[in-house]
């Protein structure tokens, strides 16, 4: 199977080639093509992913959207759905969702596992419209990431972003401590 150079780099980043990685690769390539965007240097491109599968690594690598920059947003819905938007065009997003049956094969899951290479070739060769629904959507973009100073939690002492701390009985606590977490014995 011929693997495009950019997909090979995604495989090196992720660790292996699998159907999930191919889906994320195809979604990211399509989003960049449809929106006329290159890889994000900072927060100019935002992606909302609705799963935590291998596909997200491909999206992250190809688009430059990362949790650290605050432009990769995770919603735990278990769906192969990716919504992309550019900050330079607020409200104009592209929602890419896997079509039902787009990567199934006759015989179901077990057969798909045995025919992994055939499934991968199908995912990589299919037209975008065969593989995905591509919908233009309005998307409210989150504000750009803010750098907020950290303060020690009153209970465990671990530095915590001030904006993520909870005030309880006049003390600033990290979220785990506010929920009853006890620090390890080395404290």
**Mind listing the domains of the chain with CATH numbers?**
5-137 (3.30.1330.130), 146-187 (3.30.60)
89 sits in the region (left: phi over 0; alpha: psi -120 to 50; else beta) called beta
21-40: average pLDDT:
94
Dist CA 23 CA 132 (whole Å): 9
> Helix or strand or coil: residue 27?
helix
**At 25, is the pLDDT very low, low, confident or very high (cuts 50, 70, 90)?**
very high
Beta strand 45-49 pairing with 72-74: parallel
Q: Return the sign of the alpha-carbon dihedral for residues 79, 54, 140, 130.
A: negative
**At 13, is the pLDDT very low, low, confident or very high (cuts 50, 70, 90)?**
very high
Is the whole model's pTM more than 0.75, yes or no?
Answer: yes
- Stronger pLDDT, 176 or 92, i.e. the higher one: 176
Q: Return the sign of the alpha-carbon dihedral for residues 116, 118, 124, 128.
A: negative
60-84: average pLDDT:
96
156-180 pLDDT tens trace: 999 999 999 999 999 999 999 999 9
The residues pairing with 48 across neighbouring beta strands, listed in sequence order, are 73, 83
Residues of 154-172 as b/e, b for ≥16 C-beta within 10 angstroms?
bbbeeebeeeebeeeeeeb
Task: Supply the mean pLDDT for the chain.
Answer: 90
13-27: average pLDDT:
97
pLDDT computed for residue 91 by the predictor: 72
Dist CA 17 CA 25 (whole Å): 11
pLDDT computed for residue 146 by the predictor: 79
72-96: average pLDDT:
92
Tokens of 70: 């605050």
Tokens of 147: 């750098």
């Amino acid at each position: 199977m011929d693997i495009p150079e950019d997909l090979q780099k995604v495989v090196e980043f992720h660790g292996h080639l699998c159907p999930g990685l191919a889906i994320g690769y195809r979604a990211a390539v399509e989003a960049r093509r449809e929106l006329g965007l290159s890889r994000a240097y900072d927060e100019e491109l935002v992606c909302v992913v609705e799963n935590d599968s291998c596909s997200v690594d491909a999206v992250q690598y190809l688009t430059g959207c990362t949790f650290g920059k605050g432009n990769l947003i995770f919603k735990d819905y278990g769906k192969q759905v990716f919504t992309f938007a550019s900050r330079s065009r607020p409200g104009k997003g592209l929602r890419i969702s896997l079509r039902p049956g787009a990567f199934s094969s006759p015989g179901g899951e077990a057969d798909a596992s045995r025919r992994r290479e055939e499934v991968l070739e199908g995912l990589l060769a299919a037209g975008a419209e065969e593989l995905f629904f591509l919908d233009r959507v309005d998307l409210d973009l989150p504000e750009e990431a803010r750098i907020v100073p950290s303060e020690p939690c009153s209970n465990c002492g671990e530095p915590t972003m001030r904006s993520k701390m909870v005030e309880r009985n006049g003390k600033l606590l990290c979220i785990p401590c506010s929920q009853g977490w006890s620090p390890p014995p080395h404290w």
